[in-house]
A and B are shown apart, each in its own frame.
Chain A
C-alpha cells in the first residue's frame, strides 16, 4: 500500500518537474507549427484552401538561358536546386568529416579535446560574419585570387557560382557533421576493432564490417544536422551566390518579405513534410542495415 502511494507521488513529482518543459514545447514548438500549417492551408481572408499548396507544384515561369526561352515549374526547380546543393554539401561534409572524426577519436584524450575545440571555434563566431569572410576570400579581386596571382596562377572566378555556395555551406555546417560522428566513435570499444582483426579482417574489413555499422547512428545525426540547415539556408546563397541561385530558403524569405505569408507558410510546410519523410526513410534503412551486415 505504502509502495503504491509513494510511487504515485513520485509520478506526480515527475510530472511537475516536467511541466515547464512541456509548456515550453507546447508554446514554442507545437503552437508555431500549427500556425505554419494554418497559414499554409488558408487564403488572405483565412478561408480554408489548397491553393497555396497547388501553387507550389504548378506555378510556372519563363526563363531565358541564352539559347532559348523555356517554361519551367518555378518552385519545383528551386526545390530541386536546393536539394542538389544541400546533398552535395552534405556528402562533402561526410567524406571530409568521417575520417577526421575517426582520427580524432583515436588520439590521446588531450589531443582530442584540443582538436574538438578547434573545430568548434568557428561556431562561436557569428554566422553572418563567417559568410562575409568567405565573400572577401572568394571575390574576383579577393584574398584567394591575390594569393594565386603571387604564385602566377589564376585568377579563378568562384563567387557567384554554385561552388561558392557549396563552399559556404560546407564551412558553416561542417562541425555539425563531425561532432555527432566523433561522439559515437569516441565511445566505440577498441577491443571490438582488435576482435575484428583477430577474426580475419584487414583494415578495410574492420572499417566496413565494424566501424561503419557501429558509427551509423552518428552518421545519420550528422547528415540530418547538415542537410536540414543547408537545404533551407537563404543567406549563404544570397551572399556567395550573388543571388543567382535562388534556393527554397530564398523563396520563403522572398514571399515573407513580399508580405505573402500564406504562400511562404505553404512552402515551409511542404519542405518540412519532405524532410520528415526523408528522415523517417533513412532511419528505417539504417535500422534494417544494422541488423543484417
Chain B
C-alpha cells in the first residue's frame, strides 16, 4: 500500500501546554483511519494540522511525497467535514455543495451535473433549493459530506461528524460513510472519542492519549492485543490486574498461577494482566481458579453485568447465567483469554471496578464532549 500522508515527529503546544508530543503516523491510500481518544488527547489537533488550520511547532507533514508544512488549507488536496458541519447559512443546498467548484470557475453545466451526482450519492436529490437551516441534523451532515467530496480530494478529514446525531441515525451514518469511502476509493481520516464507532468503521485505529499515540492497529488487534493499560481500558471493558510472569506461558495473579499464550518476558517480570469481562466463565465455587463474592448485578438485555469481589479487587464479568448478589462463585479463565502487557506509566490507573457505575461513566462522557 502507498503512503499518502506522513506525520514525522510532530510537536505542537498551545500556550505552553503540549498538545502533541512527537507524533509519528503514516496514513495509507484508500484506508479508513480513525484517531481515537478522550477529549484533550490531541486527535482534533492532529486533524487540523493535516487540514492546514494549525502549523506544527516541530516536525514535518508529507503529503504524497511533498512537504506541506507551510501550504495554506485552500491549496491542500484534502477536505474537511466539520464537527457542526459549518454549512454556509446564506446559501441553499445546491450552492453549498457547488461552493468549491464556483471557486475554481468550473463551467456551469459541469457544476450542475457534479452537484446532482453528489446529492444523489448522499440521498438528497430534490433538496437543491432548500435552505440549509431548514434541514435536520442528519441532512445537514449529508450536505457537509457532499460539499467536502465534490472537489474529489485525495483525503477526507472528518472531525467527530456523528457526535450531534442520535443513536439510530448515527448507526446508519456509520454504515453510509463506510460505503461512501469504498465507493470513492479515497482515504478517510476520522476523529472520534467513541470506541465502538472506531472499531466498527475503521481499517486502522490510532489510539491517542495526552498528545501521544498509544497504539496503531486494526480494530481486532487493538481489542485483543492492547499495548498498555490505557488502551485496554479505553477500548471496551477490561479487568487489569498486577501479575508476575513466572516463565513463558505461565503467569501468576490474584494468588493463582495461570497458563497463558504469551511469551518473551523476563523471568519474574512484573506485568499487567488483562482479562475481558466476556471471557470469564462462572463455575461452582469449588471448581473455580479464583473465588469471589458477587457485589452487584445489572441486567443489560443481552447479558448481565456483574461485579465480583476477589480479595478486595473488583472484577467485571459479563455473563448470560443469572447469579445473585452475595453469592459465592468461582471463576474459570482459559489461557487464550489472558493477555499480558508490559508495565507502563498507565499501570494501576485503570481496570479496577470498585468505583464502577454506569451512570457515572455516562456523566463523565457527556462532560468531556461539552469541553470540546
Contacts and interface: CB of A to CB of B under 8 A. Distances in A.
Contacts of A189: 86
A202 B83 CA distance: 22
A153 B271 CA distance: 84
A201 B151 CA distance: 13
Contacts of A213: 90
B256 interface: no
Contacts of B151: 199-200
A177 B217 CA distance: 57
Contacts of A196: 88, 99
A198 B104 contact: no
Contacts of B83: 191
Given A194-B53, A195-B88, A290-B90, A201 B74 contact: yes
A199 B153 CA distance: 10
A200 B100 contact: yes
Contacts of A156: none
A197 B72 contact: yes
A214 B88 CA distance: 9
Contact of A202 (B74, B79, B148): B74
Given A197-B73, A201-B103, A293-B91, A191 B84 contact: yes
A172 B87 CA distance: 38
Nearest to A206: B74
Contacts of A199: 74, 79, 99-100, 103, 147-148, 151
B74 A198 contact: yes
B82 interface: yes
Contact of A214 (B51, B80, B90, B100): B90
A205 B86 contact: no
Contact of A191 (B72, B86, B91, B102): B86
Nearest to B78: A198
Contacts of B53: 194, 197-198
A189 to B, nearest CB: 7
Contact of A198 (B73, B88, B95): B73
A197 B88 contact: no
Most chain B beta carbons < 10 A, residue from A198, A200, A202: A198
Contact of B73 (A191, A194, A290, A291): A194
Nearest to B76: A198
Q: How large is the interface on A (under 10, 10 to 19, 20 to 34, 35 or more residues)?
A: 20 to 34
Contacts of B74: 197-202, 205
Nearest to B91: A293
Nearest to B159: A191
Contacts of A293: 90-91, 95
B236 interface: no
A51 to B, nearest CB: 48
Contacts of A192: 86, 88
Q: How large is the interface on B (under 10, 10 to 19, 20 to 34, 35 or more residues)?
A: 20 to 34
B185 interface: no
Provide the main secondary structure of the chain A interface.
Answer: helix
A290 B131 CA distance: 12
Nearest to A197: B73
Interface in B11-25: none
Contacts of B80: 194-195, 198
Contacts of B104: 200
B289 to A, nearest CB: 54
A293 B51 CA distance: 26
A210 to B, nearest CB: 6
Interface string B97-109: 0011011100000
A196 to B, nearest CB: 8
A200 B103 contact: yes
Interface in A258-293: 290-291, 293
B89 interface: yes
Given A197-B74, A199-B147, A210 B86 contact: no
A213 B96 CA distance: 14
A210 B92 CA distance: 13
Interface in A172-230: 189, 191-192, 194-202, 205, 209-210, 213-214
Nearest to B92: A291
Contacts of B88: 192, 195-196, 210, 214
Nearest to B73: A197
Contacts of B89: 214
Contacts of A291: 90, 92
Given A201-B74, A202-B74, A195 B86 contact: yes
The 7 closest A-B pairs by CB, nearest first: A191-B86, A195-B86, A200-B103, A197-B73, A199-B100, A200-B100, A213-B90
22 contacts: A191-B83, A192-B88, A194-B80, A194-B82, A195-B80, A195-B88, A196-B99, A197-B74, A198-B51, A198-B73, A198-B74, A199-B99, A199-B103, A199-B147, A199-B151, A200-B74, A200-B151, A209-B103, A210-B88, A214-B90, A290-B90, A293-B91
Interface of A: 189, 191-192, 194-202, 205, 209-210, 213-214, 290-291, 293
Given A191-B84, A195-B86, A198-B51, 16 more contacts: A191-B83, A191-B86, A192-B86, A194-B73, A194-B80, A198-B73, A199-B99, A199-B147, A199-B148, A199-B151, A200-B100, A200-B104, A202-B72, A209-B99, A213-B90, A214-B89
